Structure 1
Amino acid sequence: MKEDFLHYLWKFKKFDSLNLKTSNLETLTIIHVGQYLELAGPDFFNAQIKIENQKWAGNVEIHLKSSDWYLHQHEKDSGYENVILHVVWENDAAVFRSDNSEIPVLELKDYVDSDTLNNYHSLVAPKSWIYCEKHLSTIDEFTFKNWQERLFFERLETKSKPIFDLLEKTNQDWESVLFCLLAKNFGLNTNGEIFMKIAQSIPFSVIRKESFEVENLEALIFGTAGLLDNEKEDNYFKDLKFRYFYLLHKYQLDKIVVPPVQFFKHRPDNFPTIRLSQLANLYHTHQNLFSKISNLRSLKESYQLFQICAAPYWQNHYQFDKESPKKKKTLSKSFIDLILINTIIPLQFAYAKSLGKEVSEDLMELLTEVSAEKNAIIDKFISFGIKPKNALETQSLLQLKKEYCNNSKCLECVIGIELLKNNN
């Protein structure tokens, strides 16, 4: 048994609360269980109880065993002096305040019915992937859908934090933040962090000024990525290299060293050369891109905005000096979907939050237009009978797995609480 189960029992009064007695056989009445704040100090603040005819207001501390009070050294912490009730599963030791007055104890094991215990033990039984995998599909659709919406916005809150951090570093320049986020997205998992370092290394004011010549943008981005460091016979390579050093001199920029971009294990269409060229062409095609992206409200508009391709040279190249069969390197719809999920919607959420605007419904509506993601985690949920219909649902499932299932937070999860309510 874990302590969070006792927190759940106390918070929702999932025990026989009408006939309570303390360990000293005094009548106990719960008026208010208090606030569960999950902060340092006692577990529940500002509770109200009555012992015999005396009313008490203060805090409640919860442990598996009453001796845990001393194990956690609460007797040395003045923050526990105003504890009015010690709620435990097993009372194995008396606990005293600094004035030697004994803290009343409620031993819960005598007041919890067998169904609640059986449901708990079933929920936390040994798992192969997640605890509730055998019962996940039994949750009613209304409850599950509402929980998914909450999980989606939790995920957006998490994704917005690095956006606000970037905003601080760029002196509140949303265009610069967007450039960094898009660069990371274009780099995918393997090159994402490297692409972001590249974007952060080039002042966005320079990107703005040079966006009218796509070769200059490619030169800046490729040069910063270290892709122009060697010598090649290709005239296109030589031109980009000349432009790069000219631009360094023009803007008095230092040559930045970033980790080498990775080609290994990538499909050719995801080679860093192709993705960086597409990024350069995106900024060549669209000035004031942030304004356009912040106002996107449909999947169709998104596909139209990102109808860009790599430079003509890359139609028959994936690397410098190596010709390949001719192919126009456009952004696929699945790649644009990733940009929507990982960059556009989090950015729209953060921007609206900074302005105090409410865009929740718009974001949910936009994401329901996007196809469900495909990955190993989603495949697992599908095998348990959960079949997401769109990206809003897959994003919520990823949040569920990462933040709740992986951390065994079953009793902070609506699904876990619902399963505890249901009798086996």
Structure 2
Amino acid sequence: MKEDFLHFLWQYKLFNQANLQSVKNESIEIINSGGYNTNSGPDFLNATLKIDRQLWVGNIEIHIKSSDWYVHHHEKDVNYDAVILHVVWEHDTDVFMKNNHPLTTLELQKIAPKDVLQNYEKLFSKEQRWIPCEKQIPEVSSFLLNNWLERLYFERLEHKSIAIRELLQKFHNDYEAVLFQLLAKNFGLKVNGTAFLQLAQSFDFSVLRKVRFKEEQLSALLFGQAGFLEDEIEDSYYEKLQKEYTYLKHKYKLKPLPKHHFQFFRMRPSNFPTIRIAQLVSLYYKYQKLFSVLMKADSVIEIYGLFTIEVNDFWKVHYTFQTTSKKSPKKLTKGFVDLLIINTIIPLKFAYQQARGEVEEDSLLNLIQELQPEKNSIISKFSELKIKGKNAFETQALLELKNNYCSKKRCLQCAIGNSLLRK
């Protein structure tokens, strides 16, 4: 038995309320069970009860055993002076308030419904499972699941927006600078994401603002800061960038990263960091105010159009400064842009709209629902349980469900777990 289950029973009044009595045979009528308190102090605040026909307004504290009141030293804490009812699973001792009056106590084990207890035991069985409800989740109604997935998706956006707000604070609400940080990290994907973020943070964004009008200078800045212009290579384009970077390095007091931060091993050439940097250069050379352009885009087709870019002539025939390739524009793939939309563009739109006090939920949902479902081990496992994500909205919500509810066994806070417990 866990305390949060008792919170669940009290919050939803899942026990027989007819002729409700305390352990001292006082009549109890619940008018308002109070607001659930997630901070320190009593578990439910501002409840309204009738105890022996007298009206009381105050707080509710919940424990497994009555004696836990003393184990937790509540008798010494003024925050518990306004408790009007002690709800416990097992009453093993009387609890007295500071005025020496016994605290009214309600014992749940005799009035909790057996079917809810059985459902709780099934859900929290010690049997090893991928998710606690994997045997029952196919029974959940599609209506409940769809509503819960929508809430989960916005919870996921909220979690992502926390990191964005921290960046905005760091960059004094410069959304263009924050967009560059987020895009750079995502251009590096999983393998080089940290290195690309370090690259974006290795110089002040004001430098990029000044050089973005000239492709050669922009290339020199990014490749130079990534440490790729430190070698001696006999190539006219490379030597031009080297010369340009030497000038920028001196003018803006730049310090390059060691190029070994960037991984090439076991990577497709199209994902080489040199190619990703070249694509980032093309993007920022093409759009002088990329943030404003992206915030106005309200369809996936429009965003695909914005990211239709080609690398410059040198990179059309190279994978690195020394490795040549068959001539190709090396465009960003649709799948890659989908990742940018999921992980950068929509979360930044959400954070921006939050700051303006006008979150356009339907617009954000329309965007994410246009994208194909993601493919990974978590989504595959849900599919085996007959929970199939039809688009990126549903797969993102399922990732939130698994990572922040199932893995943490937060079934009592989950709409699915809640439904299964109350069957």
TM (norm. structure 1) is 0.95
Q: Structure 1 residue 322: deviation in Å?
A: 2.3
Q: Structure 1 residue 233: deviation in Å?
A: 3.3
Q: Structure 1 residue 124: deviation in Å?
A: 1.6
Letter in 2 for 1:102: P
Higher mean C-alpha displacement, 18-27 vs 107-116: 18-27
Deviation per CA, 1:200-233, whole angstroms, max 9, x where unpaired? 2222222222222222212111111222233333
User: How do 1:185-200 residues align onto structure 2 when only pairs under 5 Å count?
Assistant: 185-200=186-201
Deviation per CA, 1:283-340, whole angstroms, max 9, x where unpaired? 0111211111001111111111101133322233222222234443110000000000
User: How do 1:25-36 residues align onto structure 2 when only pairs under 5 Å count?
Assistant: 25-36=25-36
User: How do 1:99-248 residues align onto structure 2 when only pairs under 5 Å count?
Assistant: 99-125=99-125, 126-248=127-249
Q: Structure 1 residue 273: deviation in Å?
A: 0.9
Distance 1:230 1:91, change over 3 A: farther
Letter in 1 for 2:225: T
Question: 1:311 aligns to what?
Answer: 312
Question: 1:330 aligns to what?
Answer: 331
Higher mean C-alpha displacement, 273-282 vs 65-74: 65-74
Q: How many residues in Structure 1 have an aligned counterpart in Structure 2?
A: 421
Letter in 2 for 1:255: K
Higher mean C-alpha displacement, 178-187 vs 51-60: 51-60
Deviation per CA, 1:354-376, whole angstroms, max 9, x where unpaired? 11223110110111110011111
Equivalent position SS for 1:400: helix
Q: Structure 1 residue 236: deviation in Å?
A: 3.0
2:248/2:254 contact within 8 Å kept: no
Question: 1:267 aligns to what?
Answer: 268
Matched, 1:9 2:9: yes
Deviation per CA, 1:223-246, whole angstroms, max 9, x where unpaired? 112222333334333322221111
- Consecutive unaligned residues of structure 1, counting only runs of 5 or more, are none
Equivalent position SS for 1:88: strand
Equivalent position SS for 2:308: coil
Distance 1:70 1:227, change over 3 A: farther
What is the alpha-carbon distance in structure 2 between the residues aligned to residue 138 and residue 246 of structure 1?
Answer: 66
- Consecutive unaligned residues of structure 2, counting only runs of 5 or more, are none
2:188/2:273 contact within 8 Å kept: yes
Letter in 2 for 1:30: I
2:411/2:417 contact within 8 Å kept: yes
1:95/1:102 contact within 8 Å kept: yes
2:225/2:254 contact within 8 Å kept: no
Letter in 2 for 1:177: V
Q: Structure 1 residue 73: deviation in Å?
A: 2.1
Question: 1:348 aligns to what?
Answer: 349
Higher mean C-alpha displacement, 334-343 vs 156-165: 156-165
* Same amino acid, percent of matched pairs: 50
Question: 2:93 aligns to what?
Answer: 93
Deviation per CA, 1:40-62, whole angstroms, max 9, x where unpaired? 00000011212213222111011
What is the alpha-carbon distance in structure 1 between the residues aligned to residue 360 and residue 292 of structure 2?
Answer: 16
2:203/2:254 contact within 8 Å kept: no
Q: Structure 1 residue 256: deviation in Å?
A: 4.5
Letter in 2 for 1:371: Q
